[in-house]
Structure 1
Amino acid sequence: MTTPDGLPTEAFDHALSTVDAPAAIALVQGLLDDGVDPLAVLVDVIAHGQRAVGDRWQRGEWTVAKEHAATAVAVSATEVVTRFADRVPVTRGKVVVACAEREWHALPAMIIGTAIRLDGWDTVLLGASTSPARLSQCLHDVGPDATAVSCSVLGALPTTRRFIEASTTAGVPIMVGGSAFGSDDVRARALGATAWAPHAQGAVDALHHLPPVVRRAAPLPKAPMAEQAAIEVGHQRLVQTLRDRWSATTTDGPATEVAREVPHQAVHAVSAALLTGDPRPLAETARWIDHLLTVRGADPRLSAELGDELATALRDYPAAHGLVRRHWTEGLVPQGEHAR
Structure 2
Amino acid sequence: MTVLDPVLDALARYDGALASVDADRAVDLVEGLLDDGVDPVTVLVDVIASAQRTVGDRWQRGEWTVAEEHAATAVSVSATEAVARHVRRTPATRGRVVVACAEREWHALPAMIVGTALRANGWDITLLGASTPPVRLSQYLHDLGPDATAVSCSVLGALPTTRRFIEASTAAGIPVVVGGSAFGPDDHRAKALGATAWASGAREAVAAVRSLPTVVPAADPVNGSAAAEQAAMELAHHRLVTSLRERWSLAAQIVTTERLPLDSVHSVAADVVNQALHAVWAALLTDDPRALSHTAAWVADLLAARAVEPTLVGELGRLLARDLRDYPLARALVEHHWTATTGSR
Could you say which TM-score interval applies, normalised by the shorter chain?
over 0.9
Structure 2, gaps ≥5 residues long: 255-263
What TM-score, normalized to structure 1?
0.95
1:171 aligned counterpart, secondary structure: coil
Aligned residues: 333
- Work out whether 1:233 is the aligned partner of 2:213: no
Distance in 2, matches of 1:171 and 1:245, equals 47
For residue 192 of structure 2, what is the aligned residue in structure 1?
A: 190
Q: 254, 272, 275: which one pairs with 1:262?
A: 272
For residue 82 of structure 1, what is the aligned residue in structure 2?
A: 84
Amino acid in structure 1 at the alignment position of 2:283: A
Distance in 2, matches of 1:284 and 1:238, equals 21
Q: 121, 128, 131: which one pairs with 2:130?
A: 128
Amino acid in structure 1 at the alignment position of 2:184: G
For residue 294 of structure 2, what is the aligned residue in structure 1?
A: 284
* C-alpha distance after superposition, 1:27-68 (max 9, x if no partner): 111111111111110001000110011011101111111100
For residue 259 of structure 2, what is the aligned residue in structure 1?
A: none
- Work out whether 1:164 is the aligned partner of 2:174: no
Distance in 2, matches of 1:331 and 1:96, equals 38
For residue 257 of structure 2, what is the aligned residue in structure 1?
A: none
Q: How does 1:239-318 map to 2 (within 5 A)?
A: 239-250=241-252, 255-318=265-328
Query: Is the contact between residue 318 and residue 339 of structure 2 (CA under 8 Å) also seen in structure 1?
Result: no
For residue 207 of structure 2, what is the aligned residue in structure 1?
A: 205
2:119 aligned counterpart, secondary structure: helix
Amino acid in structure 1 at the alignment position of 2:330: A
For residue 104 of structure 2, what is the aligned residue in structure 1?
A: 102
* C-alpha distance after superposition, 1:121-169 (max 9, x if no partner): 0000000000000000000011100000000000000000000000001
Distance in 1, matches of 2:266 and 2:234, equals 25
For residue 334 of structure 2, what is the aligned residue in structure 1?
A: 324
Amino acid in structure 1 at the alignment position of 2:6: G
Q: CA deviation at 1:251?
A: 7.5
1:214 aligned counterpart, secondary structure: coil
Q: How does 1:137-156 map to 2 (within 5 A)?
A: 137-156=139-158
1:88 aligned counterpart, secondary structure: coil
Amino acid in structure 2 at the alignment position of 1:162: R
The alignment yields a C-alpha RMSD, in angstroms, of 1.6
Amino acid in structure 2 at the alignment position of 1:224: A
* C-alpha distance after superposition, 1:171-191 (max 9, x if no partner): 100000000000100000000
Distance in 2, matches of 1:15 and 1:3, equals 23
Distance in 1, matches of 2:321 and 2:118, equals 43
Distance in 2, matches of 1:313 and 1:222, equals 22
Amino acid in structure 2 at the alignment position of 1:298: V
Distance in 1, matches of 2:277 and 2:5, equals 42
Amino acid in structure 1 at the alignment position of 2:219: A
Query: Is the contact between residue 285 and residue 331 of structure 1 (CA under 8 Å) also seen in structure 2?
Result: no
2:50 aligned counterpart, secondary structure: helix
What TM-score, normalized to structure 2?
0.94
Identical positions, percent? 64
Amino acid in structure 2 at the alignment position of 1:41: V
Query: Is the contact between residue 255 and residue 297 of structure 1 (CA under 8 Å) also seen in structure 2?
Result: no
Q: CA deviation at 1:100?
A: 0.1
